[in-house]
Every structure is written in structure tokens, then in C-alpha cells.
């Protein structure tokens, strides 16, 4: 770890860095899953989904940057390479052979839901460790992920 005058105990910082890097791996995966959907979606709702999936990507980039910067603020190394993310993501693998809007909605909503679940878990973990700022970052990310999960799932839901 790098030296810092941050007054959180070293053990707290180390544990939070581990949580943050775990979510960073998921976030990098989510970003690329969103791009996979964006590039490959087909069907009658193409343009709406194409744009929505790119909004998910933009949000994931913001979450990724916020999470990675918090790692460094705590004296850690943000582990943001594709290789690291591929080894440590907890998101389900994205199916590569799909093209329909419905299939991409299902796959991306599954990834968003898993990411949201993991982030909510880490809200409590960071709080228990005594790092309210990291907990707050996870809360902010959770709110955004839930919003995009709603936007994506709305394409599956109807009164019919």
C-alpha cells in the first residue's frame, strides 16, 4: 500500500480496497457486457435498446472511475485491467450468440441485478469496517444500478 495521511486504520483501508477492487472487476465486466448488447442488438426496438445499452455503459464508466479512485485514495492500487477483471468478476458470462432485443434485455438485466446485489452487500461491509465514505460510494452506485435495472427490465414488463 502507498503511504497516505488518511486516518482510517490500515486494516480498514486494506479490507475496503479488497471490496472496491472486487466491484471494480464486476464494473469493468458490466461495462463490456453493456457494449456487447449495444453492438449486437437486433429487432423492432433496436434504436431504443441500442441507446439504452449505451447509457448503461456510460453509467458503468462513471461507477468504475469512482470506485477505482476510492481505491487509490485509500492507498491501494486500482486493479482495472481486463485480465484482472476477467479473472475476478462475479457476474455471469454474457452469451455471445444472442441478437434479439429480448435476449439482450434478459442477459443485461441479469448482470445489472447481480452487480446491484454485490454492491448492496458491500454497502454494509464497508459500513461495518468503519469506512462511511466507501459505503456512501457503494450506495450511490447501487441507486444508479437499480435505476438502469428498472429501465432495462421495463422492456420485459407489461400488463399483458
CB neighbour list of residue 97: distance below 8 Å, 6 or more residues apart: none
Domain boundaries, the chain: 10-153
How many Cβ atoms are within 10 Å of 59's Cβ, its own excluded? 20
Which percentage of the chain shows pLDDT scores above 90? 91
Each residue's pLDDT tens digit, 116-126: 999 999 999 99
What Cα–Cα distance (Å) separates residue 83 from each residue in 28, 71, 80?
10, 18, 8
- pLDDT at position 159: 60
Each residue's pLDDT tens digit, 15-51: 999 999 999 999 999 999 999 999 999 998 999 999 9
- pLDDT at position 12: 97
Superfamily in which the 10-153 domain is placed by CATH = Ferritin, core subunit, four-helix bundle (1.20.1260.10)
Residue 145 dihedral angles phi and psi, to the nearest 5°: -65, -40
The pLDDT confidence band at residue 160, using thresholds 50, 70 and 90, is low
Each residue's pLDDT tens digit, 95-134: 999 999 999 999 999 999 999 999 999 999 999 999 999 9
CB neighbour list of residue 61: distance below 8 Å, 6 or more residues apart: 31
- Please say if the pLDDT value at position 7 is more than 90: no
Amino acid at each position: 500500500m502507498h503511504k497516505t495521511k488518511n486516518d482510517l486504520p490500515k486494516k480498514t483501508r486494506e479490507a475496503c480496497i479488497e471490496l472496491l477492487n472486487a466491484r471494480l472487476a464486476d464494473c469493468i465486466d458490466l461495462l463490456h457486457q453493456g457494449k456487447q448488447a449495444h453492438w449486437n442488438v437486433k429487432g423492432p426496438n433496436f434504436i431504443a435498446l441500442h441507446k439504452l445499452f449505451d447509457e448503461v455503459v456510460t453509467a458503468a464508466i462513471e461507477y468504475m472511475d469512482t470506485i477505482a479512485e476510492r481505491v487509490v485514495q485509500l492507498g491501494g492500487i486500482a486493479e482495472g485491467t481486463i485480465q484482472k477483471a476477467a479473472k475476478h468478476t462475479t457476474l455471469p458470462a454474457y452469451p455471445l450468440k444472442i441478437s434479439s432485443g429480448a435476449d439482450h434485455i434478459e442477459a443485461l438485466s441479469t448482470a445489472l441485478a447481480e452487480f446491484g446485489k454485490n454492491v448492496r452487500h458491500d454497502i454494509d461491509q464497508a459500513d461495518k469496517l468503519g469506512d462511511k465514505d466507501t459505503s456512501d460510494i457503494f450506495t450511490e452506485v447501487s441507486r444508479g444500478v437499480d435505476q438502469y435495472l428498472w429501465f432495462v427490465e421495463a422492456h420485459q414488463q407489461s400488463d399483458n
